[in-house]
Structure formats: C-alpha cells, structure tokens
C-alpha cells in the first residue's frame, strides 16, 4: 500500500508539472489540457484512497475465530449454537451441524437504543434461548435491565427463518415477517430494489441494501461501526445459488457501487461450504467439515464476482471460482442439489453417542 501511494504521488507530481508547462506556454489545444486535468483528478482521488494509515480504517475492530465448533466427530458436547463475540456489541452465532447440516450463521448487533438479530436458523432450533443468553450477558456488562430486540432476515429461505416461532411471544421483540411487503414497510423502502436506506439502532447505523437474485427478499447490511458487509446467501465461501440471473448481477453491481470508497473490513455471509483447498467444496448435507474455508471474504471477492457476472451478460452458468461457485438453479446447468429454495431436507440431529463420519470434500464440476 505504501509503495502504491508513493508511485501514485510521483505520477500526480509529473502530471501536475505537465499541466503547469502547458499553461505557461499558453497551449492552444484546450481539449488536451482538459483531458490531462481529468486524469489528474482521477489520480488525486486514487492518492486519497490510499492515503489513510494502517490504523484499522477508522472502524471499530473485532476478532473472528480461527475455527468454529464443528458438527462432530462427537456431538455429545457440542451445543446447538456457538456464540462468538466479535467485539462487545457484535456477536456471531453459528448453528451446529449436529443440529442441522446447513450450519447457518446468525448476527446479533447492539446499539444504544435497541438490538437487532439477523436470521433465526434452520430446522427446529431454539434460537430465542441462545440469543437471550447473549442478550442477558450484554445487559449485565452494560448495567442495563432491558433492550428492545428486532428480528429480521437476510432472505426468506427456510434455513434462515426456522427459528422465528421462538420469538413470536417474547416481550419487547419485533419480528419482521419474511416477505417483501413486510421488509419494505419495516425499513421504509419505497423503491425496491434501487433504494438503499439507513436503520439506526442508536449510535449504530446499518445501511440496508436490497439485493434480490438469490431470493426475492434478499438484503445486505453494511455496519458503519465495524465496516462489515453482511451478504446473507448472496456472497459467502460456498455455492451461490442464483434464482434470477439478471437481478443477481444487478444486485452484485449495486454492492460494488455502494462499497466504492468505503472501508470493508470483512464480507460475512451465512454459510461455509467450501474447503480451504481452492475450488473444492463439501457436498450438500455435510455435517462435519474439519477443513472448512474461513467465514470472512473481502471486497476483492465481490469485485471478482461482479466481473464474472458481467462477462456472462445475463446468461448465468455454473462457474467455480477459487473461493465460491456461481450456481444457477434454472437453465441447462441448474442443479437438483439446492435444498434451500423449495423443500427443506431432513434435520440431521444426533441425540446419542454415535460419531459422525467425516464427509469427504468433492471437486466442483
């Protein structure tokens, strides 16, 4: 980054010298001068973009675990949810593979006025109990007695809304139904999907970005406090199932445009399906993933996805990239290996002392 900054600064200085020379000679071809000044403006922006010191990007930092509790090989000591504290006001909950093979990630944000939960899990989870344990700990550390809780969804597929029932009768809890009218009404989105709105939890603003394509109600969240972009099932290290190719491509471009010039500390999705080996994923239904990919991606992955989709020009075909696979669910290369869109596969719940056999990864075709 420092080397790039120096090179850009040198280029900036050189272009500036040329401009001064042209002006001093009263250069008559004004169009060329204007073009050079345009280049100068671009370079200036680039220099500014690389100018900040490596001091954390001005966002609130946190930590991610090197590994997560896995769905085996022995499920007797593994809880239904693992709760990880990214920092004091952001928690990541992961559902165990022993509870459900999808192993989704849930995210719990705390502001000064209210808390917000993104997604409720798969199968038949007691999500409210796990979330309440985290909330109670936060309240104790904060010296507070209560905080309102909002429960929303990254999208409406069954492995992200299955725990909704456990929140329905909780006092102080607002459950947003997983349908488009409810989502638009709750966040005040009048122009779907073009309009990006802000949602304030109290000194914590979340940007709500409509991103249909994987599913009609899909949204992304950008947490200004941490600089993390939460992308649901639209981008994560795994199989990016695409229902509507054109909408999906537009949504990815919307995310690229939105994040331009912003700090993106991480991109966090809701699953891990790839292994640490490039171009290699675990089959659908895998419970135990001992060599799984890290959860976090970066903005470079978003740009890679955008560029690949632009080349497809609306004709989405299955394409394996290093850390994820574009996977259409309609068309000649559609797959039947898509458990999320129509029918939910049986819960993989292990209630005895049987050991879970390790599922072998497979090469993406």
164/333: higher pLDDT: 164
pLDDT given at position 18: 53
What are the pLDDT digits (tens) for 219-231?
A: 999 999 999 999 9
Q: Are 253 and 289 in contact (CB under 8 A)?
A: no
Q: Are 70 and 79 in contact (CB under 8 A)?
A: no
Q: Is 50 exceeded by the pLDDT of residue 237?
A: yes
Q: Is 70 exceeded by the pLDDT of residue 47?
A: no
pLDDT given at position 23: 45
What's the rounded mean pLDDT across residues 157-181? 97
Interatomic CA distance for residues 294 and 92, integer angstroms: 14
Interatomic CA distance for residues 365 and 279, integer angstroms: 9
Measured at the CA of 362, the angle between CA 361 and CA 365, to 5 degrees, comes to 155
Question: DSSP secondary-structure letter at 165?
Answer: G
Q: Are 92 and 271 in contact (CB under 8 A)?
A: no
Residues facing 152 on adjacent strands: 118
What's the rounded mean pLDDT across residues 50-55? 64
Task: Report the candidate in 357, 193, 221, 364 with the shortest Cα–Cα distance to residue 289.
Answer: 357
Q: Is 70 exceeded by the pLDDT of residue 12?
A: no
SS3 per-residue string spanning 294-351: CCEECHHHHHHHHHHHHHHCCCCCCEECCCCEEEECCCCCCCCCCCCCCCCCCCCCCC
pLDDT given at position 334: 53
Alpha-carbon distances, residue 65 vs 82, 100, 142, 236, 294 (angstroms): 11, 21, 24, 16, 9
Q: Is 80 exceeded by the pLDDT of residue 357?
A: no
pLDDT given at position 257: 98
In the structure encoding, which two tokens stand for residue 278, read together? 């490039």
In the structure encoding, which two tokens stand for residue 329, read together? 């669910």
307/21: higher pLDDT: 307
Interatomic CA distance for residues 134 and 152, integer angstroms: 17
Alpha helices by DSSP H, 86-142: 127-142
pLDDT given at position 215: 98
What are the pLDDT digits (tens) for 311-340?
A: 999 899 999 999 999 999 976 555 545 555
Q: Is 70 exceeded by the pLDDT of residue 251?
A: yes
Interatomic CA distance for residues 341 and 337, integer angstroms: 10
Question: DSSP secondary-structure letter at 166?
Answer: G
Alpha helices by DSSP H, the chain: 2-24, 30-49, 127-142, 158-161, 180-187, 245-259, 299-312
Interatomic CA distance for residues 33 and 27, integer angstroms: 8
For the domain covering 76-328, report its CATH number.
Answer: 3.60.15.10
pLDDT given at position 77: 84
55/247: higher pLDDT: 247
345/118: higher pLDDT: 118
Q: Are 88 and 77 in contact (CB under 8 A)?
A: no
Q: Is 60 exceeded by the pLDDT of residue 11?
A: no
What's the rounded mean pLDDT across residues 102-114? 98
pLDDT given at position 70: 80
Percent of the chain with pLDDT over 90: 72
Q: Is the pTM of this model over 0.85?
A: no
Residues facing 91 on adjacent strands: 85, 108
The chain-wide mean pLDDT, for the chain, equals 85
Domain boundaries, the chain: 2-49, 76-328
Strands (DSSP E) contained in 72-218 are 81-87, 90-95, 105-110, 115-118, 149-152, 173-175, 197-200, 205-210
């Amino acid at each position: 980054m420092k080397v790039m900054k120096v090179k850009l600064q040198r280029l900036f200085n050189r272009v500036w010298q040329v401009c001064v020379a042209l002006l001093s000679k009263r250069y008559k071809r004004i169009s060329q001068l204007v073009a050079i000044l345009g280049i100068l403006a671009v370079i200036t922006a680039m220099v500014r973009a690389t100018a900040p010191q490596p001091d954390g990007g001005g966002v609130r930092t946190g930590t991610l675990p090197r590994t997560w509790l896995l769905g085996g090989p022995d499920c007797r000591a593994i809880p239904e949810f693992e709760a990880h504290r990214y920092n004091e006001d952001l928690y990541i909950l992961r559902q165990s593979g022993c509870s459900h093979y999808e192993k989704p990630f849930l995210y719990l944000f705390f502001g000064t006025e209210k808390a917000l939960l993104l997604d409720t899990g798969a199968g038949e989870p007691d999500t409210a109990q796990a979330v309440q344990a985290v909330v109670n700990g936060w309240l104790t550390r904060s010296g507070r007695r209560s905080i309102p809780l909002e429960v929303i969804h990254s999208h409406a597929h069954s492995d992200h809304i299955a725990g909704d029932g456990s929140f329905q009768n909780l006092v102080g809890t607002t459950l947003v139904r997983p349908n488009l009218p409810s989502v638009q009404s709750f966040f005040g989105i009048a122009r779907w999907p073009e309009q990006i709105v802000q949602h304030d939890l109290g000194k914590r603003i979340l940007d709500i970005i409509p991103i249909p394509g994987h599913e009609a109600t899909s949204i992304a969240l950008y947490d200004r406090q941490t600089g993390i972009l939460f992308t649901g099932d639209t981008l994560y290290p795994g199989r990016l199932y695409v229902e509507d190719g054109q909408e999906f491509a537009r949504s990815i471009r919307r995310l690229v445009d939105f994040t331009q010039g912003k700090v993106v500390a991480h991109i966090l999705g809701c699953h891990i399906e790839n292994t640490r080996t490039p171009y290699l994923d675990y089959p659908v239904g895998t419970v135990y993933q001992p060599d799984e990919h890290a959860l976090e991606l970066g903005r470079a992955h978003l740009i890679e996805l955008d560029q690949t989709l632009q080349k497809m020009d609306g004709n989405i075909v299955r394409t394996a990239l290093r850390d994820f696979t574009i996977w259409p669910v309609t068309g000649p290369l559609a797959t039947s290996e898509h458990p999320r869109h129509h029918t939910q596969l049986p819960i993989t719940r292990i209630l005895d002392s049987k050991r879970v056999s390790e599922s072998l990864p497979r090469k993406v075709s």
